[in-house]
Amino acid sequence: MKAFIVDRYGSKDGVRAGEMPDPELRDDDVLVQIHAASVNPLDLKIRDGKLKLILPYRLPFVLGNDVAGVVVRVGSRVRRFKSGDEVYARPDTDRIGAFAELISIKEGSVAIKPKSISMEEAASMPLVGLTAWQTLIERANLKAGQKVLIHAGSGGVGTMAVQLAKHLGAIVATTTSTANVDWVKGLGADVVIDYRKDDFETVLRDYDVVLDTLGGEVLEKSLRVLKPGGKLVSIAGPPDPDFAKDMGLPWAMRQVIRLLSRRIRKSAKHHGVSYSFLFMKPNGDQLREIGSLIDAGAIRPVVDRVFPFESTMEALVYVEQGRAKGKVVVKVR
Ligand SMILES: NC(=O)c1ccc[n+]([C@@H]2O[C@H](COP(=O)([O-])OP(=O)(O)OC[C@H]3O[C@@H](n4cnc5c(N)ncnc54)[C@H](OP(=O)(O)O)[C@@H]3O)[C@@H](O)[C@H]2O)c1
């Protein structure tokens, strides 16, 4: 099959178009003919080898973490899907490979594609939709009437998180640059801070939850907009000991991770709030619930650009520039 392949880590030329063997089909897998895939900053981090201690892929491997397509075969133990089903998924973390013609995915990570959207829109959803779900609902337990700050409301995660938080009945503040202020209000945000003009830290206070998608200085400042007992959940800041334990990392790695997040955990304690890092997980059941919200019109996919399959490398470059409004998709067939 045709695929975009990483031969070696750490080089921009490290991804190439080429041929790979068709994926093996395990008993609990569905084999999906890929119609569309979407690009995530995670693809760039994996390509550059930044996550190789946590996610060790055997080289060469196919890149890509989000798919929509049609089931063409199922393993002997698969009960929920059959050939011809239109599906979408964030493939399992240890078996990625969305920039290709075919992928095998564990049944439990797959869901039927929402009927009201195209393959390209469906491919834009899984990773960011699940991230929004797992941070706001599972981790932060966000409730109607609570105040949440979502950083980078115009990004892939931000566009989903703003819509989901509004659907939950929360009061939503977000940050974006001048050109995107009105556009992000259109997604439902109640308060939009133009980060080029204003400092969110001086404008917002007494928030229940902050979803940090940026890390660094933004992470530190976010502590100060929370009320006592508030929750800072980060997907871009330093990983914490619970994450290391959950990933089953070896003792030495767990100690390194403990040190990496020591400062922010200490500051959080000092401010009387909590800090946690979240690494999203594939989940077919949650994806089904997200699909229902899409078909009900409660949230909608936000696609910035669609690139043809041959231009996957250009799609990666576009995302790397960090200015995407919503998601960048590759149309595979
Ligand atoms: N841990 C996890 O499970 C997990 C899951 C998903 C994503 N992530 C990580 O989360 C981060 C965000 O992912 P993404 O897919 O949302 O990225 P993205 O779509 O590439 O983000 C681009 C957006 O970021 C905005 N932005 C850039 N700098 C900003 C700033 N200082 N303040 C506010 N907005 C800013 C840009 O808006 P402007 O053009 O207006 O600046 C742009 O719309 C990445 O680092 C990604 O790897 C982690």
pLDDT digits (tens, 9 = 90+) for 288-298: 999 999 999 99
Minimal CA–CA distance to 65: which of 46, 48, 78, 51? Answer: 46
Residue minimizing CA distance to atom 23 of ligand 1: 155
> Which one-letter amino acid corresponds to residue 277?
F
Segment-wise mean pLDDT, segments of 10 residues, the chain, 333 residues: 94 86 98 98 96 93 98 98 98 97 98 98 99 98 98 98 98 98 98 98 98 97 98 98 95 95 98 98 98 98 98 96 98 98
Output the CA 31–ligand 1 centroid distance in Å: 31
Residue minimizing CA distance to atom 4 of ligand 1: 235
Bridge partners, 69 (sequence order): 34, 87
Q: What pLDDT score does 122 carry?
A: 99
Mutation probe of ligand 1 site: the residue of 90, 235, 261 with most atoms within 8 A of C-beta: 235
Output the CA 173–ligand 1 centroid distance in Å: 16
CA 118 centroid distance within chain:
19
Instruction: Tell me 224's DSSP state.
Output: G
Sorted by sequence, the CB contacts under 8 Å of residue 284 that are 6+ apart come out as: 89, 107, 108, 109, 110, 111
Answer for the pair 262, 241: CB distance below 8 angstroms, yes or no.
no
Q: What pLDDT score does 159 carry?
A: 98
Answer for the pair 161, 150: CB distance below 8 angstroms, yes or no.
yes
User: Which protein residues touch ligand 1 with a CB less than 6 Å away?
Assistant: 40-42, 127-128, 131, 151-152, 154-158, 175-177, 180, 195, 213-214, 235-236, 278-280, 319, 322-325
**Exposure of 29 by Cβ count < 10 A (0-12 exposed, 13-18 middle, 19+ buried)?**
buried
Q: What pLDDT score does 12 carry?
A: 64
Number of H helices and E strands in the chain, helices first, is 12, 16
